[in-house]
Every structure is written in C-alpha cells, then in structure tokens.
Amino acid sequence: MTQPARTPSGAATGDGEGVWRRSWFQALVVLAVLVAGYWVSRTAGHPSWAGGFPTGIGDSFMAWLDGIYAWIVQNRNDSPLFLYFFNYVSVGLGSAVVLINQALDALTWVGVTALGVLSAWRAAGWRVALLVLATFGVFALTGLWNASMTTLALIITSVFIALLFGLPLGILAGRSERFHRRLRPALDFMQIMPAFAYLLPFVLLFGIGNPAAAVITAVYALPPVVRITALALREVDRGAIEATTSLGSTPWQVLTKVQLPLAKRTILLGINQTIMLAVSMVVIASVIGAGGLGDAIFQALSKVNVGQAFQAGLAIVMLAIAMDRVTGAVGNGAHTPRVPERLRLPVLGGGLLAVLATVVIGRSFDLGGWPRNWAVDIAAPVNAVNDAIESAVGGATSAMGTWTLEWVLAPLSQVLTGSPWWLVVLVAAALGWIFGGVRVAVLSAGSFVLVGLLGVWDNAMDTLSQVLVASLLTLALGVVLGVLMSRNDVFATILRPVLDAMQTLPPFVYLIPAVALFGIGRVPALAAAVIFALPPVIRLVNDGIRGVPAGAVEAADSQGSTKWQMLTKVQLPLARGSLLLAVNQGIILVLSMVVMGALVGAGSLGFDVVFGLAQNQLGLGLASGLAIVGLGLFLDRLTQGRRASHA
C-alpha cells in the first residue's frame, strides 16, 4: 500500500499483481463512483430517491429520549430508582469531593506542598520531587491555588472510582477470554464516544456539578486501566502459573501471589494512563459546573483573555506532567531512593512528622490557600505575543483559511451530503471490503446506516468531510515531522517537550487564537484538531523509523541507496506497523475534536452535541453523539488494517 505504482494505469505488471488488485487503485475507483453518483443526483435535481437518509426514525428516537428526560426531571425525587440508587451515588460522590477539598484546605498550602514533595521523593526520587515542587509553585504563583486544589480533589475522587471498577474488571478480563471478548466493544464505545455527548445523560442521572463530573471523569478514564491490566495478566509467564498451580495453590493464591506481583509494573502503566485521561477530562467537566482549573480557563476565555487561559492551561500541563512522572517512576522503580529495610519506618514516621509540623505552622499562621496578591502575572505578556502573532500573520492565515474552505472543505462536504445516502453506504462498504475484508465491509455499512437511523445524516456527512480533511492534513504533517525527527537527534530533543505540552494543554486554550487567525467556522476547528492529533502521529512515525533494524539500513546503504530511496524503499515500508497505528490514532483523535471544533463554529454534529447540552435537549445531543461514534467505528475499523485478508 505504501509502494508507489510504477506501471501505467490499466496495464498489468509482470509479477501477476495487476494494478486492479492494488487496494489504493480500487479505493480510487470507488471514490470516482461516489463523485459520479453525486453528479447524477445533482443534474437530476436531487430527486427524493437520491437524497439524504429519511429522518423519520431518528426523529421519533430523539422524541423518545426527550420524553425520558422530562420524566426524570419530574420524578427525580419521587422514583425509588433515584431515591435509593442514583441519588445515593450522587450525594456520596458530591460529598466526597467536598470533603477531600476541605481536607486539602485544612492542610494549608505549606502542608499540601510538604506532603506532595515528600511523598514524591519517597516514591520517585528527588528529581521528580523537584518537579512536584515546581508544579505547586506554578499553582501558587499563577494565583490558581484554590482552583488547583478543587481540580485535585476531583481527580482523586474519580481516579479512585475508576480504579475501584477498572482493576477488578481488568483482572476478570485478564483471566477469562470470554469476558474479555464481551467487554471489548464496550471499552471501544467508551473511547470513541465524545465526552461532551455523555455529559448531559450523566448530569441527569447523577446531578449537576461534582457528582456527575466525578462519574464522567471516571468513565472516561476507565478503559486504559481495564485494557492494560488484562494485558498484563495475560503476559505473565505461563510457566510461573503452572508451577504454582502444580504446588496446589488455589486460583486466588495464583492471582495474588503470582499474577498480580509479576504484572505490577504493567498495571501501574495502566493506572498512569487512567490518571492522564482523568486530568484531561476534568477540564471538560467544568462545563457542568465542576469548577477548578477548567473553570478558570472558561472564565478567561469568556472574556477572550487568551493569556489568562494560558496561565490556567499551564497549571494543568504541570499537573499532568507531574502526575505522569510520579506514577511512571513508581511503575519502573528506577529512581526510587534505596532506603534500607530497617530505616523504612523511621523515614515514613519522620516524613509524617515533618508534614504534621508544617501543617501546624501553617494553621497557626492562619494560612489557607495561597494569598492572591502574591501571584505573578504572565497573562499580559502572553496576550501581547498572541496579538503580535495575530497582526503579523493574520492576513495570510485567513486567506489560507478561505482557500481551504472554498476548494477543499466545501466541495467535499457537498459531495458527501449531496450524494444519495444508499450510494454513500455502498461506498463505505466497498472501502471496508478493500481495506479490511468482509467483516469490516459489513461493519462499515452498518455504522453508516446507524448514523442515518439516528436522524442526523446531513450533519454527519458534513462532519465526516471535516474529519477526513483534518485527518489527511494531520497525517501528512505528522509523517513529514516524524521523519525529520527520526533523522535528527537535536530536532528530536527540541520537539519532545513541545509534544508533551501539546498533548496535555487543554484544547480550549488554543481554540480562541485559532479563531483570531482563521476566522470563525470550519477552518479554525480544522487547525485545532490538527494540533491536537499531531503529537501521537509524530511520535509513532519517529518510533517506527527508529525501530527499523540497523541491518536492513546498512544493507541498503552498502548498495548505494540515496537517502530518499532509503526512506521510501526501506524505512517506511519496514515501519508499516507503526505507520498504520499512527493513521488509526490520528483519525480517532481528530474525531474526538469534533465537539471542540463546534465551539468555534464548525457546526454539524458537534454543535448539536453542545446545543443539546446547553439547551437540555437530550435527544438531539445524544443522537448526534452516537452518530459520532458511528463515524468513529467506520474510520477505526477501516484503518486497523487487514486482519482477515480477502485476497
């Protein structure tokens, strides 16, 4: 697939693999059929048999959901389902967040800092402890101490819930293949469903503010810990298990004495991923009143104060990086200070005493949160930089934006929305068959029909056009930058922290500058999606090329290959696995930005999700969210490559 064709089209090659059998050519033919179908439908004046998907079923589905919404609103405090279940969870979680927040407050800022730094040192060594100290420093100096503590309380609560359910599920899935197979689609679904789309149902069930925020964050952060725990248990050496079983151990003993200890490191990696997702979700959760750092970002953005939003974004980036390094270090255990066995208790006791002492000192000086007037303002310089960039390149970028809109986005959207719906379904099926075989073909057609049945066909096609363009752009840029990164170590060293920051910076922060540069509409959304999805693609391409065996490179080198030949004939083909994964990840991440894009005028499915949330229209919001999942299923399966080849 990655090899360019050297034969003129139509002519068969000598090695028996005719151009007709190459998947890229087949895909082109299928797309040509789609465009032809669009022209026919257009010249015929869009007759009803060649229009969009009928919306009847979708409309009644939405009305049904709206009915559920109305029922819940009226019966929340009467129905036993709520009185004895949902409200318990709601009140319990809401109270837990409040209690943790108050506890952090009672420790005072010196106490929290001492506790954080000392435990980071004990778990991960002094380098990480310094990073934690710096993080608390950023919280304090940006004047966001209290907001940070609120966010921390929410993260602690939701990570706790995620682990409470995720670890047992992961263990079950790790021990039973059947359970794992049943669980997988649910996990896939959770990862593709845009977070915004399930805000409203959870608000409805668990109550606005902290309770719903905790549940949503937990749900969002759950999949990695389940998947990775299951994987870790599976990878435990069969020999070790058999040895213990033959010694007469019970399954419980095998689990606790052999499997879990041996899988510990990998499981910690899963926990690390879960915490990272929780950090990114608490920002979104502020839309439903969760408060904290996400709230600080929204508050700044509502006044179009990019600098202030950046400040809060920086606090989140620091929080994410610190949590990542701490849990990462616990996982590989490399930098943990070696404290001799007999000194462990004294060290622990000493640490606790030190924390206690700082808390007492803090409280006796009446310190609580960090005093507001000790803050350092970086908002003004950031705003100045932002304005300078805007006035320097604003004209060029907006012209570029207009061009993209007129020549790429708008025509593609027209073809997709203007073609007969059944033709689009057939094209999806054909593409699925070409790239993935019969099963993928059925799934592709199925997901398009599902999107149609939800009653949001036109919007979904428009969204699909935006996702496709953003994905292509991401992949093109990602491959170029990834290749450069793999060939130049200096560039790689510079790029790495930038990628770290890009991945953890909440997208809200760069949405508004994107509007300033590209004007409102689909183009700034496109830009934001590319920025968001780019880092993993670059990383995967880089890793893939660097992972190509040195022998292969040397062999090609000795035959006198040019650098270009080396890249296209040896490195890229051999890194095919990583490249395919990069394509898949890139597309899924672009898809997850559909709703974010709607915040700057991308419209379509994303806007309906946001609108549904803001105007309490459960039907519209949820149907649009599910349609995004439908598109995601199609794109994900299409790009996962050929598992069962049809050829």
Partner 1 sequence: MPSSARKNGLLRLLAVGMTLLMVSSCAVRTDQMARDPGLVRIAVNGWVGYEASAEVLAYVLEEEMGYDTQLMRVDEQPSWQALDQGAIDVILENWGHEDLYELYGPEGNDTVVDGGSTGNEGVIGWYMPAYLAEENPELLDHEGLRENTDLFRTAETGDSGEFLAGAPGFVSQDQGMINAFDMDLEIVYAGTEAAQMTEVRSRYANEEPVLFYSNKPHWIHEQLDLVKVDFPDHYDGCDADLEYIDCDYPVYDLNKIFRSGFVEEDDHAYRFLDNWEWTNAQQNEVAGMIADEGMDPTEAAEVWVDENPDVWREWLPEGYEQRVR
* CA distances for 201 relative to 64, 93, 422, angstroms: 14, 17, 32
**Which of residues 299 and 336 has its CB atom nearest to partner 1 in the complex?**
299
CB of 641 to partner 1, least distance (A): 35
Q: Characterise 165 by phi-psi region: left (phi > 0), alpha (psi -120 to 50), beta (else).
A: alpha
Cα(563)–Cα(359) distance, integer angstroms = 62
Of 497, 535, 527, nearest to 510 (Cα)? 527
Q: What one-character DSSP code corresponds to residue 239?
A: H
Rounded to a whole number of angstroms, the minimum distance from the CB of residue 609 to partner 1 is 10
Binding mask 264-293 for partner 1 (x = CB under 8 A): ----------------------xxxx-x--
Q: Check binding of 328 to partner 1 (CB under 8 A).
A: no
CB 345 within 8 A of CB 165: no
Comparing CB distances to partner 1, the nearer of 410 and 553 is 410
State the nearest-atom distance from the C-beta of 486 to partner 1, in Å.
Answer: 37
* Candidate list 603, 640, 641, 642; residue touching partner 1; CB under 8 A: 603
Helix (H, G, I), strand (E, B) or coil at 544: helix
Cα 265 to its chain centre, rounded Å, is: 23
Which residues, numbered 430-459, are part of the site for partner 1 (CB under 8 A)? none
Minimum distance from residue 521 beta carbon to partner 1 (Å): 4
CB of 271 to partner 1, least distance (A): 28
Residues in the chain: 647
Alpha-carbon distances, residue 324 vs 163, 268, 353 (angstroms): 16, 11, 27
641, 433 in Cβ contact below 8 A?
no
Q: Are 453 and 623 in contact (CB under 8 A)?
A: no
Q: Segment contacting partner 1 (CB under 8 A): 326-334, 343-351, 449-457, 593-601? A: 593-601
CA 287 to chain centre: 17
* 292, 296, 297, 300 alpha-carbon torsion, rounded to 10°: 170
| Euclidean distance between CA atoms 400 and 119, whole angstroms | 50
Cβ contact 198:219 at 8 Å: yes
Taking the CA atoms of residue 475, residue 479, residue 480 and residue 482 in that order, the dihedral angle to the nearest 10 degrees is: 130
Q: Binders of partner 1 among 362-381, rule CB under 8 A?
A: 363, 366, 368, 372, 379-380
Near partner 1 in 454-473, by CB under 8 A: none
Residues 173-232 that bind partner 1 (CB under 8 A): 203, 207-209, 211
In the bound state with partner 1, the residue whose beta carbon lies nearer, of 152 and 230, is: 152
Q: How many C-beta atoms lie closer than 10 Å to residue 629's C-beta?
A: 23
Tell me whether residue 203 or residue 572 sits nearer to partner 1 (CB atom): 203
What is the 8-class DSSP label of residue 177?
A: H
Place of tokens 């006198």: 560
Q: Which is nearer to partner 1, 84 or 252 (CB)?
A: 84
Complex with partner 1: residue 408 or 434, whichever CB lies closer = 408
* DSSP letter for each residue of 123-151: HHHHHHHHHHHHHHHHHHHTT-HHHHHHH
**Shortest distance, position 153 Cβ to partner 1, whole Å:** 13
Residue 253 is encoded by which pair of tokens?
């003993």
What sign has the CA pseudo-torsion 280, 281, 286, 291? Answer: negative
290-319 residues in contact with partner 1 (CB under 8 A) are 291, 295, 298-299, 301-305
Q: Which is nearer to partner 1, 297 or 430 (CB)?
A: 297
Smallest separation (angstroms) from partner 1 to the CB of 534 = 22
- Torsion region of 12: left, alpha or beta (phi above 0 gives left; psi -120 to 50 gives alpha): beta
Closest approach of Cβ 304 to partner 1, in Å?
Answer: 5
Q: Given 3-state DSSP classes, what are the helix, strand and coil percentages for the chain, each rounded to the nearest 5? A: 85, 0, 15
CB count within 10 Å of CB 57 equals 13
Does residue 610 belong to the site contacting partner 1 (CB under 8 A)? yes
Range 106-165, binding partner 1 (CB under 8 A): 106, 143
Question: Under rule CB under 8 A, how many of the chain's residues touch partner 1?
Answer: 76
Q: Single out the segment in contact with partner 1 by CB under 8 A; choices: 39-47, 222-230, 246-254, 599-607.
A: 599-607
Using CB under 8 A, which residues numbered 483 to 542 contact partner 1? 511-512, 515-516, 519-522, 524
- Asked whether position 95 contacts partner 1 by CB under 8 A, the answer is yes
For partner 1, which is the closer residue by CB, 23 or 414? 414
- What is the smallest separation between the CB atom of 32 and partner 1, expressed in angstroms? 26
Considering only residues 52 to 91 of the shown chain, the ones binding partner 1 according to CB under 8 A are 73-74, 76-77, 80, 82-84, 87-88, 90-91
Q: Which is nearer to partner 1, 243 or 384 (CB)?
A: 384
* 601 touching partner 1, by CB under 8 A: yes
Q: Which is nearer to partner 1, 33 or 98 (CB)?
A: 98
Q: Is the Cβ of residue 32 or residue 63 nearer to partner 1 in the bound state?
A: 63
Write out 378-435 in H/E/C secondary structure. Answer: CHHHHHHHHHHHHHHHHHHHHHHHHHHHHHHHHHHHHHHHHCCHHHHHHHHHHHHHHH
Residue 94 sits in the site that holds partner 1 (CB under 8 A): yes
Nearest CB to partner 1, comparing residues 213 and 271? 213
CB-nearer residue toward partner 1: 254 or 511: 511
Report, in Å, the least distance between residue 104 CB and partner 1.
11
Does 36 contact partner 1 by CB under 8 A? no
Does 605 participate in binding partner 1 (rule CB under 8 A)?
no
How near is the Cβ of 147 to partner 1 at its closest, in Å?
11
C-beta of residue 359 within 8 angstroms of C-beta of residue 108: yes
**Residue among 221 and 595 whose Cβ is closer to partner 1:** 595
What residues numbered 398-427 form the site for partner 1, per CB under 8 A?
Answer: 401-402, 405-406, 410
Q: Does 594 bind partner 1 (CB under 8 A)?
A: no
Angstrom distance (rounded) from CA 212 to CA 63? 24
Least Å distance, CB 394 to partner 1, is 7
